[in-house]
Each structure stands twice: as structure tokens, then as C-alpha cells.
Amino acid sequence: MVDNIPEHIAIIMDGNGRWAEKRGIPRFAGHKEGVSTVVSIVKTAIKYKVRVLTLYAFSTENWKRPKPEVDFILKLPKEFLNIYLPELKANHVRIGAIGDMEKLPFHTREALQYAIDSTKENDGLQMNFALNYGGRDEILHAVKAMATDLNDGKISIDKVDNKQFSKYLYTTDLPEPDLLIRTGGEKRLSNFLLWQLAYTEFWFTDVLWPDFSEKEFLRALEDYGKRKRRYGGVDELNEAILS
């Protein structure tokens, strides 16, 4: 039994390439295997009634990788959706995407848009792909959009606060993540959801993404369930002591 399930879980899916290199096989095989893990983790998220799952699939920095690897990675969303979209629909999953979609290949955008349109009425898990996403780029985009609205008189400078600014982010309709999971052993955000993760609980594991199992996912959920989130305040025990 897992108590206190996070409403929104964000995952940095790290370690596909290293998983393949450890086995002496091409990095492409690691990315391919990583798709199978996505399927498993989505099913687990549905099982435990997670409301939102956001997966960091391709960052604005990933364009620096060798072109054949980039091309392969950006074909995976279409392949994943072609195979699993019927099952996702049957489980009432709603597909979303965050990032600068315009710079993605047409086949990637087309597959994503079809999935978004065909699942928009679903009321189950909200599954978001972060593609061509960068936290700094997102904030700059939001600042420019808000500045335009200020100049056009659509909003007043007196009304600008955290809530107002958040409306200009890609995640405008989403709750902020309760839990961030990063696989692969690294302990950094890598330009992911920099604004949204201000009070998120972090959970890191050395397990590479293709090996990230339901058991490992449950370890993260159980650890989260033991934490007290104070958002800069104090818990009831400390408050009693201080008073």
C-alpha cells in the first residue's frame, strides 16, 4: 500500500545511451529499450492513480548530439504512439506536449498532434512529453509574451505575480510537480522545469532508465510518502515547539 500519491510526477529519463554502451550495443538500442520502460511506467502511474506524468524526452540541448542519434530519438514518439495509442485511449490517458514544437520534424509534430487531438476528451492520466524543451527558453518565451501583453494593455503591471506569470508557461494548465524522479545517477535538473520545480521533492537513482522498473518507481513513491512538504514554513511539531 502506497499512501500520499503525488498528483504530478516529472521524470528525467536518463541513461539510455550508457545502458547500451555497457552492453556493447549501439546507443540507438538504448533509446529503443527506453520506450519499453515508458510503457511500463505509464501503466504503473495509471495503476496508482497519478494524475499527471511529465516525461523529459528531448531537450533543447539534445540537438548537439550526433545527427543520426537525434533523428532516431525524434522518430520514437511516432513509433510509440503508433503502437500504444489505442491502449492509452482505452485507459483514458490524455496526451499533452510541452516545448517548442515548431522546430521538431513534421512527422514528430504530426504524430503528437494527432494523439493530443484524439485524446483531449479523456479524463484519466495526463501524460506530457517534453520535446525540444528547455527551462530557460520557456521562461524567456513567457517573459516576451507577457511583455507584449503589457505593452498592448491586455494586463496591468500591478497584476503581475507568480500566478499571472505561470499562465505564460507551457505548463499553464498543469499543477506544479510534486515529485521529480531522475534516473541514471546524475543529480541535476538539466534545464528541466526550472520555474515549476521550486518546491518539488527530488528523488535520484543510479538505475539507468531502461532498467527502471515498477519496483523502483514504487520505491520513489514510498519515499515521497514519508516526506513532509512545508513550502518554506514549519511542520506542526516544530510550530508547537516554537510557540
Check if the beta carbon of residue 145 is closer than 8 Å to that of residue 168.
Answer: yes
With residue 8 as reference, give the H or E element that holds it: strand 8-12
- Annotated active-site residue 238? The verdict is no
The catalytically annotated residue of 3, 4, 14, 91 is 14
The catalytically annotated residue of 16, 62, 128, 132 is 62
CA angle, 217 as apex, 215 and 219 as ends, to 5°? 75
Distance from C-alpha of 131 to C-alpha of 141, rounded to nearest angstrom: 15
> Which residue's C-alpha cell is 516529472?
10
- Annotated active-site residue 62? The verdict is yes
Check if the beta carbon of residue 30 is closer than 8 Å to that of residue 16.
Answer: yes
Check if the beta carbon of residue 200 is closer than 8 Å to that of residue 176.
Answer: yes
Residue 104's contacts (CB-CB under 8 Å, 6 or more residues apart) are 74, 112, 131, 132
Which are the catalytic amino acids? 14, 62
